[in-house]
């Protein structure tokens, strides 16, 4: 059985990332620290008629090392390919030998905000053009958003807790938080947790353009996503996946695992306010951060770094800044706060897990990534956003923010592992 300790501790032992800045952790991390940007002209389809014609695409991606066969790859939507591959990379990074663990105690929580949108679009075209008899029998299992979680567990025979969170842009932070709770409850010893997204398709870009949510700075893709900048005009779509390996501490120590950091707190609240707009003054986000700190048994002054949700929307960035000030008071001006979406674009349901990997590396290596394109600070967004250049500093504890349409808020707290 999983740990029966009264209050088991949970550590991070593996990281996997698929993004526009790299398909392996080392490449991704180097590019993030260097302030590189993965946003460019859309090549996955002809976007010339769209208000936003740029995105952070995953290019030159080969998922086959993570799949049993090429046939299995073809039967998986792009978002599933990303999620399974990120899980595969996280497994390799963790050093886990699954033949030496109880697979009944190893679970998978990999979610998605939208799921197989490309499959929906392609199969609908076939239905209209050729009739229902030509719709693929794999359409449903390809489009449903739990399939990355399901296939990863099947490929590795992981029989523990398994589900797929779906809470828009908070999806993968919720997956990590709920996986943390699962280990704390003694229901698993190992959890693969994160999210995956692949919505750079005509329907996805068209829908977000119709909402007027995206930047139209098509003439300078690398400078279009500019969190907390006075001239920000919306987010840029990204795609990819992030998966972290969470492990009960004694289980990790028994196998001599490399421990990146310890996960110690989680907050989960609702704005109950509006379908797409944050609550005034970031009230729901503030309650979420307070909940995460309370569950971590930390004071606001214990936090060194916040990876902000920071999508580069006028209202969202302002509300998050206000929420941070509400929670941290005077300490807010001593925090390093950065948004990495200027580099990765907004990866929707994958964003929280990719940013959790960033927080984990920041704690482990004592360096925080920059907020790129922050050239003209918004006077109302007046915190230390680590503009344009990475910063070496001791990161004792970090807080990871994710906020989604529907008023979903998720915050996860991690700190240095102290033995």
Catalytic residues: 169, 309, 346
**Whether the Cβ atoms of residue 144 and residue 322 lie closer than 8 Å to each other:** no
Residue 118 vs residues 114, 115, 204, 205: alpha-carbon distances, Å: 10, 9, 9, 11
Q: What is the DSSP letter of 11?
A: E
15: nearest Cα among 350, 353, 400, 276: 353
288: nearest Cα among 242, 326, 316: 326
Q: Give helix 25-33 / helix 351-365 axis angle, nearest 10°.
A: 80
Cβ neighbours of residue 150 under 8 Å, at least 6 residues apart? 162, 164
Distance, CA of 175 to chain centre? 10
Taking each continuous run of H as one helix and of E as one strand, the counts in the chain are: 13, 14
d(CA 2, CA 248): 9
**Whether the Cβ atoms of residue 169 and residue 309 lie closer than 8 Å to each other:** yes
């Amino acid at each position: 059985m999983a740990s029966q300790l009264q209050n088991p501790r949970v550590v991070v032992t593996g990281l996997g990332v698929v993004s526009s800045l790299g398909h392996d952790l080392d490449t991704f991390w180097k590019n993030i620290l260097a302030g590189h940007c993965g946003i460019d002209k859309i090549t996955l389809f002809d976007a010339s008629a769209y208000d936003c014609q740029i995105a952070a695409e995953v290019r030159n991606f080969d998922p086959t090392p993570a799949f049993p066969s090429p046939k299995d790859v073809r039967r998986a939507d792009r978002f599933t390919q990303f999620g399974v591959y990120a899980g595969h990379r996280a497994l390799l990074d963790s050093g886990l030998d699954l033949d030496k663990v109880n697979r009944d105690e190893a679970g998978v929580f990999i979610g998605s905000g939208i799921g197989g949108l490309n499959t929906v679009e392609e199969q609908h075209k076939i239905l209209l053009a050729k009739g229902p008899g030509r719709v693929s029998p794999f359409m449903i299992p390809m489009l449903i958003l739990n399939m990355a979680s399901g296939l990863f567990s099947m490929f590795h025979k992981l029989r523990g807790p398994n589900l797929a969170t779906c809470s828009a842009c908070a999806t993968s932070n919720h997956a990590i938080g709920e996986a943390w709770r699962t280990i704390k409850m003694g229901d698993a010893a190992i959890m693969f947790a994160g999210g995956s997204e692949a919505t750079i398709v005509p329907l996805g870009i068209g829908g977000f353009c119709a909402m007027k949510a995206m930047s139209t700075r098509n003439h300078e893709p690398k400078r279009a996503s500019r969190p907390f900048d006075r001239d920000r005009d919306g987010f840029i779509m990204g795609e990819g996946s992030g998966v972290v390996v969470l492990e009960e501490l004694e289980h990790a120590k028994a196998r001599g695992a490399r421990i990146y950091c310890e996960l110690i707190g989680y907050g989960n609240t609702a704005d109950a306010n509006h379908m797409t707009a944050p609550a005034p003054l970031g009230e729901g986000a503030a309650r979420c951060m307070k909940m995460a700190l309370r569950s971590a048994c930390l004071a606001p002054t214990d936090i060194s770094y916040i990876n902000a949700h920071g999508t580069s929307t006028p209202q969202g960035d302002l509300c998050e800044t206000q929420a941070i000030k509400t929670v941290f008071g005077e300490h807010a001006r001593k925090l390093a706060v950065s948004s990495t979406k200027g580099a990765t674009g907004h990866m929707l349901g994958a964003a929280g897990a990719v940013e959790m990997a960033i927080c984990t590396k920041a704690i482990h290596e004592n360096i925080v990534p920059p907020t790129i394109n922050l050239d003209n600070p918004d006077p109302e967004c007046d915190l230390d956003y680590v503009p344009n250049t990475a910063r070496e500093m001791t990161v004792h504890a970090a807080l990871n923010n994710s906020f989604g349409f529907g008023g979903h808020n998720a915050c996860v707290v991690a700190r240095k592992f102290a033995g």
